[in-house]
Amino acid sequence: MDYLAAVVFVTLALATLLLRLVFRWRHGGAFEPRLPPGSRGLPLVGETLEFFTASPTLELLPFFRRRLERYGPIFRTRLVGEDMVVSLDPEFSARVLQQEERAFQIWYPSSFMRVFGADNIISALGPLHRHMRSLMLRLFGPESLRLVLLRDVHRSARAELRSWLGRPDVEVRTATSRMIFGVTAKKLISHDDAAAQGSLWKCFDACTRGLLAFPLRVPGTAFYKCMQGRERVMKMLKQQLGERRNAGRQREAVDFFDVVIDEMDKPGSEMTESIALDLLFLMLFASHETTSIGLTAILKFLTDSPKALQELTDEHENIQKRRADPDSEITWEEYKSMKFTSHVIHEALRLSNIAAVVFRKAKQDVQIKGYTIPQGSKIMICPSAAHMNPRVYEDPSVFNPWRWKDIPEPVGGTKDFMVFGGGVRLCVGADFAKLQMSIFLHCLLTKYRWNAISGGTMVFYPGLRFPDGFHIHLLPKD
C-alpha cells in the first residue's frame, strides 16, 4: 500500500508540475496569471445593488470611486449576474475600443440584449456590422446632414419652440425628446408621431427609463415597463414591414424602411426580418434620447453660467446679423462656424456622460499593466473616469466650455473623450446629435429667453437622469 500511495503521489505531482509549466508558457513566464483585484460581492446579486444606487453629483460615481481607491483603475466585480473586469484606466479603455475585432469584441449583458434584440447592430460582428453601419450612414452621413437633415432639424426646432410660447411650464427633456423623435421617426419609417398623439414616443420613453434600471421584470418596475414598450414597438414595426413588402413600390417617399426592405430582397442577403426590425428599433431609440438628455444638460448648465450664456448668445446673434434675411434658413457654412457652440456641447457632454458604460469581451488573453485579462472576460469601460480625470481636465466637475478653445476638436473618440464611444463602433449618429443640439440652440438664443421654474437636479443612476425634470418658462426676446 505504501508503494502504491507513493506512485499515486509522484504521478499527481508530475501532472501538477506539467500543468503549471504549460500555464507559465502561455502567460509569458508567470506561473499563474495575475488577475485584477476585486470582489464578487453577495451571492446571486454580486455588487449590483450598490452599482444602481443613485448619485446626485457630477463626480465619478461612488461605486467606481470607492473601488478606484481600494483596488486601482482596473478591478473585478459582479454585476447583473456577470463577472466583469472594470476599466477606469484611460489607456486600457482606449486600447479595448481601438482593438475591436482583434483582441476584443462587442458584448453586452443579457438585460441590454433583451431590450435591443439579439439581432441588433450592437451584437453584429465583422462584415455584417460594417454593412449595417454603411446602411445607417445613408441617413446620418455627412451628405445627408448637409443636404437634408440640416433643413429638417431647423424647421422642427423653430416649430417646437413656437409651441412652447404661452405655456406656463415646459419640461425640457420631455419636450426635446418628442421633437427629436418626430424628426427621426419621419425619416426612418415615415411615421408622424405628433398626429398619433405621441403614442410611439411613449413606448420608447418607457424603454429609456428602464434600460439602465435593475433588470427585474416584475409588474410595476421600470424594466417591466421597458420590455412592454419594446413589445408594442416591435409589433407595430413588424406590421408595417409586412404592409410595405406586400404593397411593393407604390410610395413616392423613400425612407429607411425602404432601404432595409431593398436589402432583404437582394439574393443571398444577410438582412433578415429579425435583423431589420432590431435595427429600426435601435435607430429610433438611440437617435433621440441621448440628444434630448444632452440638450437638457446644456440648458441647465447655461442657466447656471450667465457668462457662457452671453458668449453663446453673441455667437448666434452675430450669425443672424450677417444674413440678408434674418429669418432665412440656416446654411451649412453658418452651422460649421459655430465654434463656441461646439465648445459648449463638448463640455456639457463631458460632464453629463450620457453613455454611462461601454461593454466588450476579450477574444484572447490580454496583458495590461501587470495584470492578465483572461480570454472570454467581460469588460466594462467607464467613460466618466476619463472625463473626470483631473490630470487632463482642470477642476473636472466645473462647467467650463472655454477649456476647449486651446485644444483640437475631439473628432471621433480619444482616450480622454469617449462621449460617443470609439474605434469601429464610434456612434454613427454622433454628427447628427451635435447638429441637432447646435441648430436648436441657434433657434432658441436668437429669438427667445427663458426662466428656470423648477427641477434641474442631475442624478446618475448610473446614466444621467433628471428625476424632477427641468422646467422652464419660455419668453420672446424683448
Query: From the annotation, which residues make up the binding site for heme?
Result: 427
Residue 179's contacts (CB-CB under 8 Å, 6 or more residues apart) are 156, 157, 160, 292
Cα–chain center distance at 24: 40
Which ranges of 266-305 does DSSP label H, i.e. alpha helix? Answer: 273-303
Contact 351, 58 (CB under 8 A): yes
343 vs 335: CA distance, rounded Å: 13
Q: How many residues does the chain have?
A: 478
Q: The C-alpha cell of 265 is what?
A: 430582397
DSSP state of 149: I
Backbone CA torsion sign across 196, 296, 189, 217: negative
Angle, CA of 337, 386 and 112, to the nearest 5°: 95
294 vs 341: CA distance, rounded Å: 13
Q: The C-alpha cell of 413 is what?
A: 473618440
- Residues at the annotated binding site? 427
CA–CA distance from 136 to each of 21, 147, 206, 426 (Å)? Answer: 50, 16, 24, 13
- The DSSP bridge partners found for residue 170 are 472
194 vs 178: CA distance, rounded Å: 8
- The DSSP bridge partners found for residue 360 are 106, 379
Contact 71, 37 (CB under 8 A): yes
Which ranges of 322-394 does DSSP label H, i.e. alpha helix? Answer: 332-336, 339-352, 383-387
Does residue 414 sit in helix, strand or coil?
A: strand
Judged on CB neighbours under 10 Å (0-12, 13-18, 19+), 50 is: middle
